[in-house]
Amino acid sequence: MAYISFTDSVLGGETNFCFKIKFEEKTISARELIISRVENEVKKAESKKEGSYLVKPTSLEKVLKKPLKIDREKQKELALKAFQGNGFLLFVNDSQITSLDELISVEKGLDVKFLKLIPLVGG
């Protein structure tokens, strides 16, 4: 068992510490890592805690569902598609992860960074 620290960055911007997630497994795939991240963010968003980075409730979810209930499966799908489409880059201990199937050894002190890419205005 180990806790993984997650940080978020925007290209050319600040780096923000987000949270830690406990993993029981010794090895996980990048896909499982992203899904765990989304699950954690959905819980935060539904309990109205700030700091969501990957999970974005739709306007309809915000208006119609009180208390807020987010479609977890849709958010997981969106996050995985964003990774595959370079919406964000994923780094584990400063090494870029390029495949959802890439395996990651879960160990104490593991640092995961999500680097969000912002499209250029007019480009």
Residue 117 pLDDT more than 80?
A: no
6, 114 Cβ separation under 8 angstroms: yes
Q: Answer yes or no: is pLDDT of 25 > 90.
A: yes
**Confidence band for 109, pLDDT divided at 50, 70 and 90:** confident
Between CA 52 and CA 45 the distance in angstroms is 7
Condensed to tens digits (0 to 9), the pLDDT of residues 43-96 reads 877 776 555 556 665 555 555 555 567 888 999 999 999 999 998 999 999 999
Domains and CATH numbers, the chain: 2-116 (2.170.130)
- Its pTM stands at 0.81
Tokens of 114: 């999500």
Q: pLDDT at position 9, please? A: 84
